[in-house]
Structures are given as C-alpha cells and as structure tokens.
A and B are shown apart, each in its own frame.
Chain A
C-alpha cells in the first residue's frame, strides 16, 4: 500500500531534550516536506526537500533541522525543543514538486 508513515504518532517531552520524528514514504517520491499545524493558522511549511541531499527552509524553520540521506526518509530533528514547538506535525511527499502531495497521519508533540 502506498503511504507516508510517521513515528512516533504521539510524543510528550521536556524542554531541551533532543528528539527526532521519522518520516518514510514507499512511493519513490522525490519531493518531501514537513508542516506544522496550529489552531487558527492552518499548516505552515517547516522544511522541504527536492531530492536526496537537497533541502531548503520553508516558512517556519527556526528550531528545526532535517536531513535527506535516502530518498524514502526525511526525519525532522528538534535539537533543543521548546514549548512553542508543541504542535501537530505532518510529513508529505510527492512525485515532483509540482504535483499532488500525500500526507502522513501526523505526530502530536507536546513540549513541557
């Protein structure tokens, strides 16, 4: 089944403790992206990747890092999480940057 998977689905952590949210797709998509969803703000792009080893900042990249060493994986790294990063995070992928994006199920992160 074609899908985008994220892990974990739920995470509660404390300020400053490094964490990684994994994202994997099995559709051989070149383009991958991370969004955060906050009430009243919709989804905002954090980082995106056009292909392996090619990443760039979205609208809200501060406090986040990403890497794209393999085509299928696009982990989101929070080196020192803060409470304002409490949010619902979505990974998405598409065959190229200009076509329909497929979304993962989301990761709800709480930073205390």
Chain B
C-alpha cells in the first residue's frame, strides 16, 4: 500500500535559519503530493501541492519539488519566522484504483522557531 515517511522531529530553529523537512513516499502510479500545516489548536491547511513529476509547489516562502526518481517531496524555506512554528504533514493522494482520492499522511514534524 501507499506510505509516507517524514524526517524525525521535533525541529528547533532560530529565526531566519534555513529549513528542510524531508519526505519520501511509496506509491503505485503517479500520486499527487501535498504539504499541510497545522497551527496550534487548528485544523490542517493546505500549504502547497504538486501533481506531477518535476512540479514545484510554493506558497508563503515554502517550496517543495516532486522528485519521482528519488520518490521525495522535501519541504524547504530559506528564512523561517517565529510564525512558522507549527506541525507539518507530508501527504500523497492516490492516483487511481479503489483508493482514488484517499490522502495518506506522514507522521508529522513539529517545527519550533525561536526569536
């Protein structure tokens, strides 16, 4: 079945530091890939997405590139802010078959940014 693996957390950074959160996946076919963000006490919000190989998703200074050859979708940001402190989830959406539309999530990575 499909699976998503994220780097172990939590991650603690100083403001303006560079962020990378690794995400790799296992899936059949050509899934779509997502990063969701969960701020304290809130539900999940879509941060960015990519629907095919070599696509780059970007939003709010975050970027991730769909790498089919390495089955990866790593999240990066050049300069984090305190307001970026949240839990980040990598997810994939099945491309077809009986699981079409289902989201499979990684375990989440807690990011804390200090001033």
B residues whose Cβ falls under 8 Å from a Cβ of A: 4, 32, 34, 36, 42-46, 49, 89, 91, 93, 100-103, 105-108
A48 contacts the other chain (Cβ, under 8 Å)?
A: yes
Instruction: Chain B residues near A48: list those with CB within 8 A.
Output: 101-102
Instruction: Chain A residues near B43: list those with CB within 8 A.
Output: 4, 90, 103-106
Where chain A touches its partner, the secondary structure class is strand
Q: How many residues of A contact B (CB 8 A)?
A: 25
Question: Which of A35, A90, A96, A104 touches B101 (beta carbons < 8 Å)?
Answer: A96
Most chain B CB atoms below 10 A, which of A31, A58, A103, A105: A103
Contact B103 A101 (CB under 8 A): yes
A residues whose Cβ falls under 8 Å from a Cβ of B: 4, 31, 33, 35, 40-45, 48, 50, 58, 90, 92, 94, 96-98, 100-101, 103-106
Instruction: Chain B residues near A4: list those with CB within 8 A.
Output: 43
Contact A42 B106 (CB under 8 A): yes
Instruction: Chain B residues near A105: list those with CB within 8 A.
Output: 42-43
What are the nearest 6 A-B pairs in CB distance? A97-B101, A42-B105, A103-B43, A43-B105, A103-B44, A42-B107
Question: Which of A92, A100, A104 touches B49 (beta carbons < 8 Å)?
Answer: A100
